[in-house]
Amino acid sequence: MRIKNITVYGIRLPLKQPFKIAYDTYEDIESLVVSIETSSGITGWGEAVVDQHVSGETWQTARSVITQELAPLLIGRTPDHISAFHHAAERRTRHNPSAKAALDIALHDLLAKQYDMPLFSLLGGRFHKVLNLPSVISMLDPDEMARQAEEACRQGFDSIKIKLGDAPEADIERIARVREAISAETSLRVDANQGWSAKQALKVINESRSYHVDWYEQPVFIENLDALARVTRATDAVIMADEPIHGTRDMLQLIRLGAADMVNIKLMKSSGLHAARCMAEVGMASDIPCQIGSMVESSIATLAGAHLALAHPNIIANDLVGPSMISCDVADLPGDGTHIELGDSPGLGVDVDPERVRELSIFTDTID
């Protein structure tokens, strides 16, 4: 079984409502859905969702990197070419992790389908019994955030993640109002998306201590690990790193600096599952638990993250909530919205609707 052709679909995933975080507001999500077809007729699916604030990629640059640089490396190869692909891809073009992730995910999907097993079996087997999802709330007026948090609890969510990073005083009020709206048993997590300085972060952390926040995610600027380390050392609150940590080298630097207590792994930062699994292993060796995050991806990349999260003992949380925010997805996510259910279907276990992909496509490229 060898790779015959690769198709890239440029699609816009419409959101149910605008998603506001510290550094941008999104009306829809620009995604590159990738299908890899083999000589035996099996198709593997992958996805790239870019965030130029994090990786420097745009929709069109990722398209170009996939079609002109990376996809040709795979034509005529077998699906188990994953390690060699990453080696060749890194030599061909530095960085561009989302573009690499799309092909990495599709290769993993193909390989698991070839062996007729669910992807989590290929990644070590089922470790966690279930993947409970948080409800992620956009940065809004404190009253509206509290209302949405209360509604999420009624829907059955047992953890709430709120987006902050506006102004410290407003953020403290948001934390307070949300905590007042939910039960003491409901987990509360906050994500500043780089929105604070170190001093502002410590102000928010110290003044929200009584509201029992599980952890504070990426309080400071992406390129300032020293500031992240200062915040971590200055408080006993749990600090999670996100945007600066793209791969194992970044993990090692974070560990050397003692810059955070947790790490948010995202396939779009790590170039896919191959390195993400290594990052989780490095974290486990250093007592740094991990979360699997998302760039608000469709069910394709979301399920790739879910398989790794289900399989790895050091991945203790996730925010794989993209499909719940999208009004028209390319496939249906298994579960009831509060959790993801992974069965024994081969590969990702995602039944992609080709017609829906074509309807959402702005452009299509084929490499053979």
In terms of residues, how long is the chain?
368
Map residue 274 onto helix, strand or coil.
helix
Which of 30, 171, 217, 243 is flagged as catalytic? 217
| 287 catalytic residue (yes or no) | no
The Cα–Cα gap between 14 and 8 comes to 19
Query: Would you state the structure tokens that stand for residue 363, as one six-digit string?
Result: 């452009």
| 203 catalytic residue (yes or no) | no
| 191 catalytic residue (yes or no) | yes
Distance of CA 113 to the CA centre of its chain: 23
The Cα–Cα gap between 43 and 106 comes to 8
Helices 273-285 and 82-92 meet at what angle, rounded to 10? 100
> Strand 3-21 to strand 24-38: parallel, antiparallel, or no bridges (unpaired)?
antiparallel
Handedness of CA 266, 302, 157, 192 (dihedral sign): positive
Which of 57, 266, 269, 297 is flagged as catalytic? 266
The Cα–Cα gap between 228 and 61 comes to 30
The Cα–Cα gap between 8 and 72 comes to 13
| 217 catalytic residue (yes or no) | yes
Which of 161, 163, 250, 297 is flagged as catalytic? 163
Which of 30, 47, 57, 191 is flagged as catalytic? 191
Map residue 222 onto helix, strand or coil.
coil
Tell me how far CA of residue 34 lies from CA of 102, 164, 235, in angstroms: 6, 33, 43
DSSP string, 19-66: EEETTEEEEEEEEEEEEEEETTS-EEEEEEE--TTTT---HHHHHHII
Burial code of 290-311, b = ≥16 C-beta within 10 A, e = fewer?
bbbbbbbbbbbbbbbbbbbbbb
Which of 30, 47, 57, 242 is flagged as catalytic? 242
| 355 catalytic residue (yes or no) | no
Catalytic residues: 163, 191, 217, 242, 266
